[in-house]
Amino acid sequence: MCGIDEAGRGPWAGPVVASAVILPTSGVPEGLNDSKKLTAQRRNDLAGHIRASSLVGVGIADPQEIDELNIRQATFLAMARAVADLPSPPSFALIDGRDAPDVGCPAQAVIKGDGRSLSVAAASIIAKTYRDAIMVAADAEYPGYGFARHKGYGTAAHQTALNKLGITPLHRKSFAPVRARMALDVESP
């Protein structure tokens, strides 16, 4: 059985990342919890333990796919990709949330699953740390946006950078704040 969770549904920029994790039958890393309830350092430490002891798959839907499909369908695509990325196919999946999309095996949605299932908690940690690393790397590629700090989420600093610098290829053009900034570019002479 694998647990599946995602990170990055709400940001204005960057991919949505999903992870699928099959924990070992023994030697499960201690301290697994919803990634949002852990410090960044604790998440990173646990991610290393999870990768060393478990089967891990990661799936990504990029900003263009998010714009083409919508965030919900892009999230489902990333989840299916995460399961396909596992070194061994699972026979069943627990998925954090209300929906159980087609991920290539029978699945059940579990609301607040990252706090109720160790495998879903592990998946939430992997997805979050993987996505955070992408956004930290993006900070170097797109200086001035603050991606390393806000990870693409809609903060005041991100809005200021968006207004001043415009959009990047990482921005989700279907999201209202980015669409509004694009409209300004069209209206300018």
Q: Catalogue all structural domains in the chain, each as residue range(s) with its CATH number.
A: 2-140 (3.30.420.10)
Residue 96 annotated as lining a ligand binding site:
yes
Cα gap 24→130, rounded to integer Å: 21
3-state secondary structure of 58: strand
List pLDDT tens digits, range 132-174: 999 999 999 999 999 999 999 999 999 999 999 999 999 999 9
Check whether 5 is labelled as a binding-site residue. yes
The first and second tokens of residue 140, run together, are 């170097």
Separation between Cα atoms, residue 99 and residue 102, nearest integer Å: 10
Q: Is 85 labeled as ligand-binding?
A: no
- Answer yes or no: pTM beyond 0.75: yes
Is residue 57 within 8 A of residue 7, CB to CB? The reply is no
